[in-house]
Structure 1
Amino acid sequence: MLDVGDTASFTWDVGSTPDTFSARVRLPDGTQTTLTPTEDPDRPGRYVAEYVVAQHGRHLVSAAATGPAWADVDVFNAAPPDWPAIVGLAEAKKHLEIEANDHDRDDELRGFILSASMVVEDVVGVVARRTVTETASGGGRNIVLEKPPVLEVVDVRVDGAVVDPSVYRWSPSGLLTHQGGWPAGLRNVEVTYLAGKLVVPPNVVNATLELLRINWRPQEGGNYAPFDGGAGDDFGNGDLEASLQGNLRLGFFVPNTVIQRLQPDQRGPVIL
């Protein structure tokens, strides 16, 4: 996964030199940038181009040629600016026993790190500190914020008007209470708050790294796929049969050895 400021490189093989060739990138905000492809002098019909990433999010890359008619569409993603990952690239490499100076798959590994972090946060709540803005419908005394734990409520607005902080209170679990009740309306309450953990518990860090290891293993040619029986692998806990028990969350296989690590921090229900 790329970052804003990284250079994305593209290669297209038309097969032979076309009459015309063009390429462009549609940015996450909907605007488009025209690329300037150049033909490889040693490979007629092969075009290359580069683009310096300026926005985070999904980018659509399209190229087209005439004489012969040819077209290609692809996608690349740039990481969010706050990089909501629980563990870093260096500690992930150390856990996976990848040499620190081996950068061949850094972008792919960063994508796995973000995915593993999302799965862990699905169990324990937000870990990587970030600003969240969400809307809720009024009409009751309480609003349940969607991404606890809450570190601080920064701003609350009803129908666009700022609400005096003295009339509401909040809890780390995400309960936002108005002393007189929130004015009724559909998605009329906008809340901006800081979510995450000031200190990440070691069991959460360890669980994230282990989840990453298990789901990265197939990239290394291992047999850690969730449905293959896991022959010859032990998922790191020495008990193959028990470790194969788990579930799928957000497309990641989460064995019980990871779930058990997260259990002390598993988020509970919010009591209204």
Structure 2
Amino acid sequence: MAVDVADASGAPADPASADLTITLPDGSTVSPAVPTPATTGQVRVDYVTSQAGRHVWRLVTSGPTTAYADVFDVQPEMPVGIVSLADARAQLNMRPSETGDDDELRGFIAAATGAVERALGRVVVRRTIVERHELGRTAEVLLRRVPVLSLTSAVTADGSKTWDPANLPVDSDTGLLKVASGESLVGDVDFTYVAGEVVIPADYRLAGLIIIEHLWETQRGTMGVQLGGDNETYSPGRGFAIPRRALELLDPQLPGVA
């Protein structure tokens, strides 16, 4: 975290005290020590994160009295991306030395991945899913994210009861899990499973690259006046963040398309 502290006259000033509070993604808080500025007024704190997700921080100083707040997001250890950074850079015809926009590109890759998965209604990039189901006594449950590659565990929220995944076969395409043997499922049950494509189809990857290129160009104002980017007309529920040619790769049966 970095803030520049100034006194009432606007001159840089080292605070007499500084208290930093960071609210972590799980709701807990930490209060790292704030070191004495190396340069007058420039308060800098290095914090090593341990959780993925949104962090909210607030710094309060006295002498002078100031307060600052902001957020930062920590990505998972294994980033979820439909294409690699190298693929995105190649799509934009970037030279190997042009690395200054890599962080922005990573954000576009994450956004394009989410857009593709929402358009398809299924998980594309393989990852671990944890979801809770409130169940009466039942022999089957429908997992929400497909395709399901494997079931890792099934355990009640309080940890008092577990089921052997070997006795809970899951239909990959529908996510329907059935109890093949043993006790029925009951209570608040947390299912941990792996979902996604073993091999991401070429048309999904190309759609992702088109979306990334579109986001890149609109960010830089190079698309002209066509908000859709493809001389397209707006369809309700179909925003201009996804070009029509990308949607057609994902769903050829768009409204108005023969």
Which band: TM-score by shorter chain? 0.7 to 0.9
Measure the CA separation in 1 of the matches of 2:144 and 2:54. 24
Unpaired segments ≥5 residues, structure 1: 1-8, 265-272
**Greater strand fraction, Structure 1 or Structure 2:** 1
Corresponding residue SS for 1:206: helix
Code of the aligned partner of 2:18: S
Q: Is the 8 A contact 1:136 1:189 kept in 2?
A: yes
Q: 2:80 aligns with which of 81, 84, 87?
A: 84
The residue that corresponds to 2:2 in the other structure is 10
Code of the aligned partner of 2:110: L
Shift of 1:208: 0.7
The residue that corresponds to 2:67 in the other structure is 71
Unpaired segments ≥5 residues, structure 2: 253-258
Corresponding residue SS for 2:109: helix
Q: Is the 8 A contact 1:86 1:205 kept in 2?
A: yes
The residue that corresponds to 1:52 in the other structure is 48
The residue that corresponds to 1:96 in the other structure is 92
Q: Is the 8 A contact 1:21 1:63 kept in 2?
A: no
* Deviates further, 88-97 or 196-205: 88-97
The residue that corresponds to 1:195 in the other structure is 195
Q: Is the 8 A contact 1:57 1:77 kept in 2?
A: yes
Measure the CA separation in 2 of the matches of 1:247 and 1:38. 55
The residue that corresponds to 2:107 in the other structure is 111
Corresponding residue SS for 1:241: coil
The number of equivalent residue pairs is: 241
Measure the CA separation in 1 of the matches of 2:17 and 2:221. 38
Q: 1:261 aligns with which of 245, 249, 255?
A: 249
Aligned-residue identity in percent: 30
Q: Is the 8 A contact 1:245 1:255 kept in 2?
A: no
Measure the CA separation in 2 of the matches of 1:120 and 1:156. 29
Shift of 1:204: 0.6
Corresponding residue SS for 1:92: helix
The residue that corresponds to 2:205 in the other structure is 205
Measure the CA separation in 1 of the matches of 2:152 and 2:172. 13
CA 1:55–1:138: 2 relative to 1, 3 Å: closer
Task: Deviation per CA, 1:221-265: give whole Å up to 9, x if none.
Answer: 3347xxx643xxx83xxxx433x545667x87223211111127x
- The list of structure 1 runs, each at least 4 consecutive aligned residues, that deviate by more than 6 angstroms after superposition, is none
CA 1:217–1:156: 2 relative to 1, 3 Å: same
Q: 2:132 aligns with which of 135, 145, 158?
A: 135
Task: Deviation per CA, 1:94-115: give whole Å up to 9, x if none.
Answer: 2123333333232232122112
Q: Is the 8 A contact 1:133 1:191 kept in 2?
A: yes
CA 1:210–1:37: 2 relative to 1, 3 Å: farther
CA 1:247–1:45: 2 relative to 1, 3 Å: farther
The residue that corresponds to 2:123 in the other structure is 126
Shift of 1:64: 2.4
